[in-house]
Chains A and B, each alone.
Chain A
């Protein structure tokens, strides 16, 4: 019951915040092209229902992905794509320019978060990580992953140092070294089992590719050595791929 109250109060807070936003001043631009198209929704599939002419001042209300909700002088509101706003003018008479994150921002990133999916010694693995860049080449990463296999599940966390070979290129290979711990839970249908936690070391290599805006694709291979309490250490090979975003 308490949870529902929390959700309800969050909703109320949200509505209040939105209502407060209605009073604000919006950014204005003047149309420089012969006309711009207003769509009914934020996507190319939504029909064009209105055109605004050259010289008209339009207010930019808010933005969703690459689409801007705008208000034209006659009070009509619609969605305009970023590409059409590029040729509008701001009040100083200069071209309206919204800086979008690009390859330079990617090279200068500080923080990065991502999620990857793949195979961990025959089990499915879902992994998330947070990374901080110390220099363009060198970064530290903290990983948390859960793998679900036929006979056991495991939870793994590790701290890694990553060396990126070409930090300013769109595509670059990297190498990584790390250490961490793995907790293995055998399946409940197996009898007389106990959870166990072991430390591990890992080495790996991978490839990163800057996609667009704040997104990066990465794929990697890691070889883990689990220091078990048994006579032999356990080798686990992992490959996975996923998407990250950076700040």
Chain B
């Protein structure tokens, strides 16, 4: 009973307000007079930003090592690598390196004879390779540290510029990656760069074995 009378009263009040049309005027006037509204709206909108999950599939780094260029001795090689990890096992790798080759034993023994000019002794290469992590594991450094490791096989094709010519090169190799930190890896790898060469009179397939140590950063 009481509820119904309240509803009736409110309906009447509403009707009076609407019909007289003064409700709106009064609101506007109260704003104009500069008085603060009775109820201060205290709504703070929450900005919901979902943090993005950082991806870390790329690996960039530098390496140095020894490269045995067939007939031209063992030389120090330096270079850069860039890798993209496709899956937990497969990765694509671009690498480029350069060295300067020494003398052949013929040149050294004959004394004066030079097979190549100084510029032709520059040996530079790039490779596009596919790698496969064959043995994932852990290495233990001291009592408290366990570092992730992976042994990988890698192979691909590339171009070697040596003795004034570009040579199509086949690469085969294997390496080990040790990861002291999430974003840091240390590599040690060995590889064979295979190309055909006819520099010393007869065409032959040259195997250029190398061993490198590198450091890479994941990003």
Q: Please, how many angstroms separate the alpha-carbon atoms of A69 and B56 in the complex? A: 10
Spot the interface stretch: B17-25, B68-76, B162-170: B162-170
Which partner residue on chain A sits nearest B128 by CB separation?
A: A115
Question: Which residues of A lie under 8 Å from residue B110 when comparing CB positions?
Answer: none
User: How many whole Å from B78's CB to the nearest CB in chain A?
Assistant: 9
Report the tally of A-B residue pairs with Cβ distances under 8 A: 99
Which partner residue on chain A sits nearest B88 by CB separation?
A: A43
Question: Which residues of B lie under 8 Å from residue A60 when comparing CB positions?
Answer: 53
- What are the interface flags for A133-149 relative to B under an 8 Å C-beta threshold, 1 for contact and 0 otherwise? 00000000000001010
Q: Please, how many angstroms separate the alpha-carbon atoms of A205 and B15 in the complex? A: 79
Q: Please, how many angstroms separate the alpha-carbon atoms of A27 and B55 in the complex? A: 13
Contact between B157 and A24 (Cβ–Cβ < 8 Å)? no
Binding site of A, secondary structure by majority: helix, strand, loop or mixed? mixed
- What are the interface flags for A6-28 relative to B under an 8 Å C-beta threshold, 1 for contact and 0 otherwise? 01000100100010010011110
Is residue A231 within 8 Å, beta carbon to beta carbon, of the partner chain?
no
Which residues 174-215 in A have Cβ within 8 Å of B in the complex? 185, 187-189, 213, 215
Which residues 185-214 in B have Cβ within 8 Å of A in the complex? 196, 198-199
Is residue A64 within 8 Å, beta carbon to beta carbon, of the partner chain?
yes
Is residue B148 within 8 Å, beta carbon to beta carbon, of the partner chain?
yes
Contact between A189 and B165 (Cβ–Cβ < 8 Å)? yes
Contact between A66 and B51 (Cβ–Cβ < 8 Å)? no
Q: Please, how many angstroms separate the alpha-carbon atoms of A21 and B120 in the complex? A: 46
Q: On chain A, which size bracket covers the interface?
A: 35 or more
Q: Please, how many angstroms separate the alpha-carbon atoms of A63 and B146 in the complex? A: 20
User: How many whole Å from A19's CB to the nearest CB in chain B?
Assistant: 10
Q: Please, how many angstroms separate the alpha-carbon atoms of A112 and B105 in the complex? A: 49
Candidates B54, B92, B168, B218; contact of A21 at CB < 8 Å: B54
Question: Which residues of A lie under 8 Å from residue B136 when comparing CB positions?
Answer: 41, 43, 45-46
Contact between A126 and B56 (Cβ–Cβ < 8 Å)? no
User: Given contacts A65-B87, A187-B165, is CB(A46)–CB(B148) below 8 Å?
Assistant: yes
- What are the interface flags for B79-95 relative to A under an 8 Å C-beta threshold, 1 for contact and 0 otherwise? 00000011111001000
Contact between B86 and A215 (Cβ–Cβ < 8 Å)? yes
Contact between B163 and A188 (Cβ–Cβ < 8 Å)? yes
User: How many whole Å from A171's CB to the nearest CB in chain B?
Assistant: 20
Question: Which residues of B lie under 8 Å from residue A7 when comparing CB positions?
Answer: 62
Question: Which residues of A lie under 8 Å from residue B217 when comparing CB positions?
Answer: 11, 14
Contact between B166 and A63 (Cβ–Cβ < 8 Å)? no
Contact between B159 and A146 (Cβ–Cβ < 8 Å)? yes
Which residues 112-161 in B have Cβ within 8 Å of A in the complex? 120, 128, 133, 135-138, 146, 148, 150, 157-159
Q: On chain B, which size bracket covers the interface?
A: 35 or more
Q: Please, how many angstroms separate the alpha-carbon atoms of A118 and B103 in the complex? A: 34
Candidates A21, A40, A66, A126; contact of B158 at CB < 8 Å: A126
User: Given contacts A11-B217, A126-B158, is CB(A64)–CB(B57) below 8 Å?
Assistant: yes
Is residue A42 within 8 Å, beta carbon to beta carbon, of the partner chain?
yes
Question: Which residues of A lie under 8 Å from residue B166 when comparing CB positions?
Answer: 146, 148, 153, 185
Q: Please, how many angstroms separate the alpha-carbon atoms of A41 and B88 in the complex? A: 10
- What are the interface flags for A80-122 relative to B under an 8 Å C-beta threshold, 1 for contact and 0 otherwise? 0000000000100000001000000000000000010100000
Is residue B50 within 8 Å, beta carbon to beta carbon, of the partner chain?
yes
Which partner residue on chain A sits nearest B134 by CB separation?
A: A45
Contact between B198 and A40 (Cβ–Cβ < 8 Å)? no
User: How many whole Å from B188's CB to the nearest CB in chain A?
Assistant: 18
User: How many whole Å from B133's CB to the nearest CB in chain A?
Assistant: 7
Question: Which residues of A lie under 8 Å from residue B135 when comparing CB positions?
Answer: 45
Question: Which residues of A lie under 8 Å from residue B146 when comparing CB positions?
Answer: 40
User: How many whole Å from B149's CB to the nearest CB in chain A?
Assistant: 9
CB pairs A–B below 8 angstroms (21 shown): A14-B219, A21-B54, A24-B51, A27-B50, A27-B52, A42-B88, A60-B53, A62-B56, A63-B55, A63-B56, A64-B56, A65-B85, A67-B88, A98-B53, A124-B168, A126-B128, A146-B166, A187-B165, A188-B163, A188-B164, A189-B198
Binding site for A on B (CB under 8 A): 50-57, 62, 85-89, 92, 120, 128, 133, 135-138, 146, 148, 150, 157-159, 163-168, 179, 182-183, 196, 198-199, 217-219
Give the 8 A-B CB pairs with smallest separation, nearest first: A45-B136, A188-B164, A148-B168, A43-B88, A124-B168, A41-B148, A62-B54, A153-B166
